[in-house]
Amino acid sequence: MTADMRRSPGPSPADPRVVGGLDYSIDHHVPGAWHLRLVRSDVAAGRVVDIDTTGVESDVTIITPADVAAYGTFGCQIADQRVLAAEPKFAGDPVVAVVAPTPEAAREAAASIQLDYDEAHGVFNEFEAATASAPLVHTSHASASGDAAYFAMRPLDGTNVCHRFRIRTPELRGYDEPELIRELPPLDDATMSDAFAGSDIVVEETFRTPAAAHVPMEPHATTAQWVDGRLEVITGTQTPFNLRQDLAALFGLDPADVRVVAPAMGGSFGAKTFMRTEAITAVAAAFTGKPVRCVLDRDEVFSEVTRHASTVWMRMGATREGRFVAKQMVAYVNTGAYADCGPGVAQKLGYAGVGPYRFDHVAVDSYCTYTNLPPAGAFRGYGAMQSAWASERLVDMLAGELHIDPVELRRMNLLRDGDAFCTGEIMHDTHFEELLDDAAKAVAWNDGRDGKGVAIILKGMQTPSRAEVAIHALPDGRFEVRSATADMGQGAPEALTRMAADVLGVPPEHIVVPPPDTDLAPYDTRTTSSRSTHMMSRALAAAADDLRANGTVGHGRIVNDGGLDPDTGTGVASSHWHQGAAAAHVDVDDETGIIDVRSLYATSYAGRVVHRAAAELQNEGSMIMSLGTALFEELTYVDGQLVNPNLSEYNIASALDGATIHHRLLETPGAEVHGLGETAVPPVPPALGNAVASLGYHPCRLPMTPERVLASRVHPRQEAP
Amino acid sequence: MKITLSVNDRSVDVDVAPSTMLVDVLRDELGITSARATCGVGLCGTCTVLLDGRPVSSCLLMAPLAIGKRITTVEGLPDDDAVVRCFSERHAFQCGFCIPGMVLTARDMIDTGRANTPEEIREGLGGNLCRCGCYVKIVDAIEEAAR
């Protein structure tokens, strides 16, 4: 019955994704699999004092925190999470797992289990979490040892700060400074007064972004089984090798005894990175001796991992002529109950907030703070959006004070080839001026400024990182490309196919690209930070050379060194830079505060384009997602309880929102391939915010809901510079 | 209960609880994975199927309510369907998870003469969400298919 209902294979012009012919993680079934449901904490903080399982049928396996106490902690950058929580740290933290022969039986069992708690006070705001009186979410800090912990952690013991990232340009080093800034420093603060001494005008403001949801259309879906002492996991993940390493550590296995297969994902945007449901599913498979399948409900997806809420305070000084002198930034990044990759987000948010500009002096403190909210992790843009929102809004504030055109002010200060970034690295392959001019032109900047705004950003690519690929010559004359680059909809197999065909000089039909399988594919850091097309393009070229030299199998390996010192920010933040700009033209109804987007434009540096349609879709998709970020997306918590975990109360952009979108890929013939997965995300909210501000408002908080826009009205209306 | 459904012009017998949603019957009993439950509340359109040619949310429709009606999934569209062709040629997809529902909604819009302008198409797609944000190319594809 099953097979013959599917579309018959054979030549067809239809793409499998259009006609339901592609199997996602959720479509992979292992025969005989049992079904896992999680019983989650109702309280945001506390201790479970009783687990009442009397209503559970006898054929259901129940796994409690006590049952899994022998397993250690895990976490990609900080080992702070347990398989099940005896002391839940957010509302939704898994406390008990039930495993049953059918999904219905598992659901019934989970619903019948009653938990009793000794509830504790929680802390929910990232800034409050950093105050001295805040309850501690974790009492100690333990850095992880896996590949994802690629820089030294700077936890501040006795606080909720699990990582502190600092930038201090050379003349700002050596001062006696507090470990944790709990009050925003006054301008005459001895440490920084020198930095701003050369400034005629100084502006400062605090900007906020809320937690947000990735909303992959496909929920997290994982199947785990133990085969001859080896663990096999089929799961939608952007990080197959990180997952293999973390699972191996959890079970005390050699990583080679863990197999991770990553089928195509129905969207991810960062939601399916590092350890998610895989640990408990693998534990359940070990407990039951059966394959176990875990598929999250939509409301669970909303709390599985989120985007970091953040509070970003920023100060900028410039000369009367408009030359940028100094920037100071203190950011609090809300990583929720478990750090996940929050330390990395704090770092990248930290340097992205400096923006693509020259400064004499830069001081950044970026604190990744625990709270009793669901964990925040990777999210398209990886912190760059949150700090670009602050940075680019502040540039417009400065332009207003200086009475200098905001585009002109930016142009005067943009980084150009040979300039040093605040990290000390020398910029190369910069295209900021062209991007800025292109964005300004798109909204006819010189024909009147009212309702118009621009923004320009830089965003790093994961550095350090390593990409490996193997090309196997098949007996039938085709070539199999074995790569751990995961397909979350960005078109990874298509891009690998085209790039492999290109370097091998064969038609694309001769290339086969199976899904990532850690038993077959060589190591790759992960499919994040818009790195994979770029890194794999270089690894494939090396693999093709090797294949030509060695006959049947070619290996390619590319290593990008770099990284930043966590105390000074010195080093190489990114081996090359994602560069983008956006422009917006809006109307604001001054009675309702509703923003009408007349035009939204983004322009991203692409280098060389591998797959035009896919590249365009990355730009369009980034813009549309970020439009939602700018205008309406927000996870709302009341005392740590998420009140909108569904698509009727958490709105995402629809076709109706996409009508005014235009964009461009800035290409350079023969240039390096640049990733495009996120470049258009960070500049969209500040471009819209600056457009709104030009009409006499002062938006500092995302999303710019009508109420907030009205509340930000500046009286009397500011005159355009 | 044992029910007989007409799926893609074939008669199929299934034995399911009366409250089983149609999307679960299609996926779990018939192996048709193009219908996908995403939001579970009939908002996102990922589970869209055609019932006597009109789009419905199969995540909200109890399977017995489809007895005696023609159920069409994207697998049941003809091989030369213009919507399928235009979505494929214009690369109007990224992950593709929402696309079968989009295609079926578009098929109905075109069949009922409600895909005449981009504005009309966007309006008609209001109940089909694509988190990858492929709307620009999706609207273009439907516009072309409608011609």
Q: Name the residue type at position A166.
A: R
Judgement on whether residues B53 and B71 belong to the same structural domain of the protein: yes
Q: What pLDDT, on the 0 to 100 scale, is given for residue A716?
A: 56
CA distance B35 to A72: 39
Residue with tokens 């492999």: A500
Q: Which of A620, A621, A656 sits opposite B122 (nearest CB)?
A: A656
In total, the C-beta contacts within 8 angstroms joining chain A to chain B are 186
Q: What pLDDT, on the 0 to 100 scale, is given for residue A2?
A: 37
CA distance B60 to chain A (A): 14
Cβ distance A655 to B119 less than 8 Å, yes or no, reads no
Cβ distance A19 to B84 less than 8 Å, yes or no, reads yes
Q: Which of A16, A491, A656 sits opposite B94 (nearest CB)?
A: A491
Judgement on whether residues B89 and B65 belong to the same structural domain of the protein: no
Cβ distance B97 to A661 less than 8 Å, yes or no, reads no
Set of chain A residues whose Cβ sits within 8 Å of the Cβ of B32: 5-6, 20
Residue A703: asked if its preceding bond is cis (omega within 30°), the reply is yes
Q: Could you tell me which chain A residue has the CA closest to the CA of B82?
A: A14
Q: Could you tell me which chain A residue has the CA closest to the CA of B8?
A: A5
- From the number of C-beta atoms within 10 Å of its C-beta (0-12, 13-18, 19+), residue A256 rates as exposed
Q: Could you tell me which chain B residue has the CA closest to the CA of A12?
A: B79
CA distance B79 to chain A (A): 7
Cβ distance B135 to A658 less than 8 Å, yes or no, reads yes
- Four-point Cα dihedral A483, A486, A487, A490, nearest 10: -100
Set of chain B residues whose Cβ sits within 8 Å of the Cβ of A266: 36, 95-97
Cβ distance B88 to A647 less than 8 Å, yes or no, reads no
Beta partners for residue B5, in sequence order: B12
Pairing mode, strands A161-168 and A230-235: unpaired
Q: Which of B85, B100, B119 sits opposite A20 (nearest CB)?
A: B100
Q: Is B142 on the interface with A (CB under 8 A)?
A: no
Q: What pLDDT, on the 0 to 100 scale, is given for residue A6?
A: 43
Set of chain A residues whose Cβ sits within 8 Å of the Cβ of B40: 297-298, 646
Judgement on whether residues B6 and B71 belong to the same structural domain of the protein: yes
CA distance A657 to A10: 38
Fold: same for A309-421+430-461+576-711 and A465-561: yes
Q: Which residues of chain A have pLDDT under 70?
A: 1-12, 716-721
Q: Which of B35, B98, B133 sits opposite A621 (nearest CB)?
A: B133
Judgement on whether residues B60 and B112 belong to the same structural domain of the protein: no
Q: Which of B73, B132, B135 sits opposite A655 (nearest CB)?
A: B135
Judgement on whether residues B11 and B70 belong to the same structural domain of the protein: yes
Cβ distance B95 to A3 less than 8 Å, yes or no, reads no
Largest CA distance in chain A: 78
Q: Which of B41, B85, B133 sits opposite A653 (nearest CB)?
A: B133
Judgement on whether residues B88 and B62 belong to the same structural domain of the protein: no
Cβ distance A489 to B103 less than 8 Å, yes or no, reads no
With beta carbons less than 8 A apart as the criterion, state whether A175 and A191 touch.
yes
Q: CATH number of the domain at A2-114+218-266+271-304, please?
A: 3.30.365.10
Query: Which of these three, B44, B75, B106, is where a domain ends?
Result: B75
Q: Which of A6, A18, A653 sits opposite B93 (nearest CB)?
A: A18
CA distance A362 to A391: 13
pLDDT tens profile A628-643: 999 999 999 999 999 9
Cβ distance B38 to A217 less than 8 Å, yes or no, reads yes
CA distance A380 to A383: 8
With beta carbons less than 8 A apart as the criterion, state whether B94 and A624 touch.
no
CATH architecture designation of domain A309-421+430-461+576-711: 2-Layer Sandwich (3.30)
Judgement on whether residues B65 and B99 belong to the same structural domain of the protein: no
Q: What pLDDT, on the 0 to 100 scale, is given for residue A183?
A: 80
Q: What pLDDT, on the 0 to 100 scale, is given for residue A437?
A: 98
Set of chain A residues whose Cβ sits within 8 Å of the Cβ of B123: 656
Pairing mode, strands A34-40 and A94-100: antiparallel
DSSP string of A607-653?
ES-S-HHHHHHHHHHHHHHHHHHHHT----EETTEES--STTTS---
* Domain spans in chain A, listed from the N-terminal domain onward: 2-114+218-266+271-304, 309-421+430-461+576-711, 465-561
Phi, psi of A78 (to 5 degrees): -135, 125
Token pair of A670 as six digits: 């023969």
Question: So what's the ipTM on this one?
Answer: 0.98
Judgement on whether residues B64 and B94 belong to the same structural domain of the protein: no
- Strands ordered across the beta sheet of B48-51: B10-15, B2-7, B70-72, B48-51, B54-57
With beta carbons less than 8 A apart as the criterion, state whether A536 and A500 touch.
no
Q: Name the residue type at position A651.
A: N
Set of chain A residues whose Cβ sits within 8 Å of the Cβ of B100: 18-20
Cβ distance B129 to A26 less than 8 Å, yes or no, reads no
Judgement on whether residues B138 and B91 belong to the same structural domain of the protein: yes
Q: Is B115 on the interface with A (CB under 8 A)?
A: no
Cα–chain-centroid distance for residue A317?
30
Cβ distance B100 to A6 less than 8 Å, yes or no, reads no
SS3 of residue B31 by DSSP? coil
Q: Which of B89, B131, B138 sits opposite A267 (nearest CB)?
A: B131
Q: Which of A6, A215, A265 sits opposite B31 (nearest CB)?
A: A6
Q: Could you tell me which chain A residue has the CA closest to the CA of B45?
A: A217
Cβ distance B30 to A620 less than 8 Å, yes or no, reads no
CA distance A137 to A134: 9
Judgement on whether residues B7 and B58 belong to the same structural domain of the protein: yes
Set of chain A residues whose Cβ sits within 8 Å of the Cβ of B41: 646-648
CATH code, B126? 1.10.150.120
Q: Which of A2, A620, A621 sits opposite B31 (nearest CB)?
A: A2
Residue A31: asked if its preceding bond is cis (omega within 30°), the reply is no
CA distance B68 to chain A (A): 19
Interface test with A, best of B21, B131, B142 (most A CBs within 10 A): B131
Judgement on whether residues B86 and B31 belong to the same structural domain of the protein: no
Q: Domain count of chain B?
A: 2
Cβ distance A659 to B122 less than 8 Å, yes or no, reads yes
pLDDT tens profile B28-62: 999 999 999 999 999 999 999 999 999 999 999 99
Residues 6+ apart with CB under 8 A from A585: A443, A451, A452, A597, A598, A599, A600, A691
Cβ distance B122 to A655 less than 8 Å, yes or no, reads yes
Cβ distance B132 to A614 less than 8 Å, yes or no, reads no
Could you tell me the fold of the domain covering A465-561?
Answer: Aldehyde Oxidoreductase; domain 4 (3.30.365)
Pairing mode, strands A361-370 and A230-235: unpaired
Q: What pLDDT, on the 0 to 100 scale, is given for residue A689?
A: 98
Q: What pLDDT, on the 0 to 100 scale, is given for residue A558?
A: 94
Q: Which residues of A469-508 are buried (b: 16+ CB within 10 A; e: fewer)?
A: bbbbbeeeeebbbbbbbbbbbbbbbbbbbbbbbbbbeeee
Pairing mode, strands B2-7 and B70-72: parallel
With beta carbons less than 8 A apart as the criterion, state whether A217 and A269 touch.
no
> Of B108, B140, B137, B136, which is closest to residue B124 (Cα–Cα)?
B108
Q: Is A380 left (phi over 0), alpha (psi -120 to 50) or beta?
A: beta
Q: Is the pLDDT of residue B107 over 70?
A: yes
> Of A389, A355, A454, which is closest to residue A207 (Cα–Cα)?
A389
Pairing mode, strands A309-318 and A201-209: antiparallel
CA distance A43 to A610: 48
Set of chain A residues whose Cβ sits within 8 Å of the Cβ of B103: 18-19
Residue with tokens 């750090």: A339
Query: Which of these three, B48, B75, B102, is where a domain ends?
Result: B75
CA distance A669 to B72: 47
Q: Is B119 on the interface with A (CB under 8 A)?
A: yes
CA distance B112 to A375: 46
Q: Is B23 on the interface with A (CB under 8 A)?
A: no
Set of chain A residues whose Cβ sits within 8 Å of the Cβ of B138: 655
Q: Could you tell me which chain A residue has the CA closest to the CA of B138?
A: A655
Judgement on whether residues B110 and B125 belong to the same structural domain of the protein: yes
Q: Which of A6, A491, A655 sits opposite B126 (nearest CB)?
A: A655
With beta carbons less than 8 A apart as the criterion, state whether A154 and A167 touch.
no
CA distance B2 to A445: 66
Query: Which of these three, B14, B49, B75, is where a domain ends?
Result: B75
Q: Is B25 on the interface with A (CB under 8 A)?
A: no
- Find the DSSP H helices in A505-555: 532-550
In chain B, which among 32-71 make CB contacts under 8 A with chain A? 32-36, 38-41, 43-44, 46
Total residue count of chain A as it appears in this document: 721
Q: Tell me which residue range forms the domain holding B110.
A: 82-146
